């Protein structure tokens, strides 16, 4: 798994990259009550807003971690957004992307580095 | 951060694993490990303990007894203070000359004196206002007592078990009851829409008392996060958000708090700041009104969201003043101000959220019916 400074995780599955937020991020956000997912087929550039999360505390944007195309979204989250709190790195995945350039993942943190990053 | 004030329960909050935030100049728990959603639901199902020691407790007395205190207070608030019976409490607000609300507060008659509870953020100004503008009265801030709220359907049983006499109180009754933690000043009230109590306890006994409550299976500590969603579901105003110096009680839909005796034609008509604005509006209505808003879908419409009459075009017609997700109603909920012609329940307005206009229906408040013991 790779991690961003925006507290996203990326898991490479064959030729797609599954993206979600970390358990640490989910805990910081608090109980999540609403998730707005992007349209499948959307072309995004790194740092574009792609997902809106509303928790009991505030609204947050999830940014595209890399350039590419959104190829699938986790529709189940629309009706059960708290899945992200319960299982952030499993059933709480948010979207899948096809990367324009897989080398964008090279500079990202591994688990050890992310753990150090969040202290 | 170093100039943040603390309540005497600060160490207990930390021991309980609270996440602390600055609120009205105090270091306060926003949530405990249970989290906002579960704390909210627990309070509605069983009982929740809140630290509200940051709020101001003030005693007002006068040589002429209650009548003199009441007369002086009625010059600052539009409510019937003189007619308040001993042992009873009433909601009030300090108004300004424009009719705006300077703070909202609770007034309790305790024999010959008045016990006043005001918001943390306004307490210095409130104490100054009372001191300067209640001639002949002694205004005594209570600085050696904590204040906690115990709210929820099991609050009565929980408190009666350790403070006999609590269960006999009715909604808005106040009492001073002896206990193992010294004399407790109780009121049967709160700000969650649930039955419950607010309890003033000596600083030195407060932690021990809080632990005695938390020791009971039904009680969980509840932070400011859930306090906010509970009060919003109950349709209650948060000062500085839903009401402020620029909103008057009629616009704020708080006209019910202004008794007949203070209204036009009443025996003690007017005589409070802004009466010339407020009294006519009580008869003819205000131009805008605080309403409940039920947004479509699951996305909350938060404070500051601009409201529009139509899905496209036009100028903003109002603003959301509080908005969150309601854990008990399992839906988003907001309060805000709209022009009176758009204030009827069932009317659709549109809130602009992230550049998109989202429909919201005007609904009667509260979102969640109250569960008081009358």
How confident is the model at residue A57, as a pLDDT? 83
pLDDT by residue for chain A (119 residues), tens only, comes to: 999 999 999 999 989 999 999 999 999 999 999 999 999 999 999 999 999 999 988 889 999 999 999 999 999 999 999 999 999 999 999 999 999 999 999 999 999 999 999 98
Phi-psi map region of B24: left, alpha, beta (phi>0 left; psi -120 to 50 alpha): left
Interface of B with A (CB under 8 A): 31, 35-38, 225, 229, 297-300, 302, 324-325, 327, 332, 354
| Longest CA pairwise span in chain B (Å) | 64
Domains and CATH numbers, chain A: 2-101 (2.40.50.100)
Interface test with A, best of B325, B352, B356, B358 (most A CBs within 10 A): B325
- Nearest residue in chain B measured CA to CA from A54: B299
Instruction: Measure the CA–CA gap between B196 and B187, rounded to whole angstroms.
Output: 8
Neighbour-count burial for B250-270, b at 16+ CB within 10 Å, e otherwise: bbbbbbebbbebbbeeeebee
Burial class (CB in 10 A: 0-12, 13-18, 19+), B230: buried
- Residues ≥6 apart with Cβ < 8 Å to B125: B102, B103
CB-CB under 8 Å, B354 with A34? no
Q: Residue for token digits 């509970």?
A: B230
Q: Confirm if A8 and A62 have CB atoms less than 8 A apart.
A: yes
CATH of domain B287-374: 2.40.30.110
Handedness of CA A60, A61, A62, A66 (dihedral sign): negative
φ and ψ at residue B42, rounded to 5 degrees: -65, -45
Share of chain B above pLDDT 90, in %: 97
Tokens of A33: 């009550």
Q: Give tens-digit pLDDT for B265-314.
A: 999 999 999 999 999 999 999 999 999 999 999 999 999 999 999 999 99
What residues does each domain of chain B span?
Answer: 10-55+144-233, 287-374
Summary count for chain A: helices (H), strands (E): 4, 9
Interface of A with B (CB under 8 A): 30-31, 33-34, 36, 52, 54, 56-59, 78, 81-82
Tokens of B28: 């306060």
- Nearest residue in chain B measured CA to CA from A27: B35
Interface test with A, best of B299, B334, B353 (most A CBs within 10 A): B299
Q: Confirm if B292 and B367 have CB atoms less than 8 A apart.
A: yes
How confident is the model at residue B2, as a pLDDT? 61
Q: Confirm if B131 and B116 have CB atoms less than 8 A apart.
A: no
Q: Give tens-digit pLDDT for B301-342.
A: 999 999 999 999 999 999 999 999 999 999 999 999 999 999
Instruction: Measure the CA–CA gap between B126 and B38, rounded to whole angstroms.
Output: 35
Superfamily covering domain B10-55+144-233: Probable tRNA modification gtpase trme; domain 1 (3.30.1360.120)
- The answer to whether domain B10-55+144-233 and domain B287-374 are alike in fold is no
How confident is the model at residue B373, as a pLDDT? 81
Handedness of CA B68, B70, B73, B74 (dihedral sign): negative
For chain B, residues with pLDDT lower than 70 are 1-2
φ and ψ at residue A64, rounded to 5 degrees: -65, 125
């Amino acid at each position: 798994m790779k991690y961003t400074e925006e507290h996203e995780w990326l898991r490479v599955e064959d030729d797609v990259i599954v993206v979600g937020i970390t358990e640490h991020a989910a805990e910081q956000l608090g109980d999540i009550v609403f998730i707005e997912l992007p349209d499948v087929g959307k072309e995004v550039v790194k740092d574009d807003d792609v997902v809106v999360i509303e928790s009991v505390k505030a609204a947050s944007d999830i940014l595209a971690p890399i350039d590419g195309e959104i190829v699938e979204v986790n529709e189940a989250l629309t009706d059960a957004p708290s899945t992200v709190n319960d299982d952030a790195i499993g059933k709480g995945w948010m979207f899948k992307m096809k990367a324009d350039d897989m080398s964008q993942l090279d500079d990202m943190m591994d688990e050890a580095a992310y753990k150090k990053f969040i202290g | 951060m170093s100039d943040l004030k603390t309540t005497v329960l600060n160490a207990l909050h930390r021991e309980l694993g609270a996440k602390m935030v600055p609120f009205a100049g105090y270091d306060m728990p926003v949530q405990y490990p249970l989290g906002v959603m579960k704390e909210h639901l627990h309070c509605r199902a069983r009982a929740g303990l809140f630290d509200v020691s940051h709020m101001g407790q003030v005693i007002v007395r006068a040589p002429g007894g209650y009548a003199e205190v009441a007369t002086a207070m009625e010059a600052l608030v539009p409510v019937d203070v003189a007619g308040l019976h001993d042992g009873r409490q009433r909601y009030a607000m300090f108004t300004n000359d424009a009719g705006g609300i300077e703070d909202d507060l609770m007034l309790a008659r305790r024999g010959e004196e008045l016990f006043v509870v005001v918001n943390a953020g306004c307490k210095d100004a409130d104490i100054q206002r009372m001191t300067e503008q209640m001639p002949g009265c002694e205004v005594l801030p209570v600085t050696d007592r904590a204040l906690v709220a115990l709210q929820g359907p099991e609050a009565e049983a929980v408190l009666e078990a350790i403070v006999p006499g609590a269960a006999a109180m009715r909604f808005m009754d106040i009492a001073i009851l002896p206990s193992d933690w010294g004399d407790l000043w109780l009121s049967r009230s709160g700000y969650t829409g649930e039955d419950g109590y607010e309890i003033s306890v000596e600083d030195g006994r407060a932690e021990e008392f809080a632990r005695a409550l938390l020791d009971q299976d039904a009680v969980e500590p509840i932070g400011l996060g859930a306090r906010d969603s509970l009060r919003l579901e109950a349709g209650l105003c948060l000062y500085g958000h839903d009401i402020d110096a620029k909103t008057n009680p009629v616009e704020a839909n708080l006209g019910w708090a202004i008794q007949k005796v203070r209204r036009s034609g009443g025996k003690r008509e007017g005589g409070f700041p802004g009466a010339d604005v407020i009294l006519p509006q009580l008869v003819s209505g205000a131009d805008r009104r605080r309403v409940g808003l039920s947004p479509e879908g699951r996305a909350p419409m938060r404070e500051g969201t601009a409201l529009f009459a139509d899905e496209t075009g036009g100028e903003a017609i109002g603003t959301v003043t509080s908005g969150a997700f309601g854990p008990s109603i399992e839906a988003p909920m907001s309060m805000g101000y709209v022009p009176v012609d758009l204030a009827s329940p069932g009317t659709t307005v549109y809130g602009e959220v992230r550049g998109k206009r989202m429909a919201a229906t005007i609904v009667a408040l509260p979102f969640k019916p109250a569960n008081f013991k009358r």
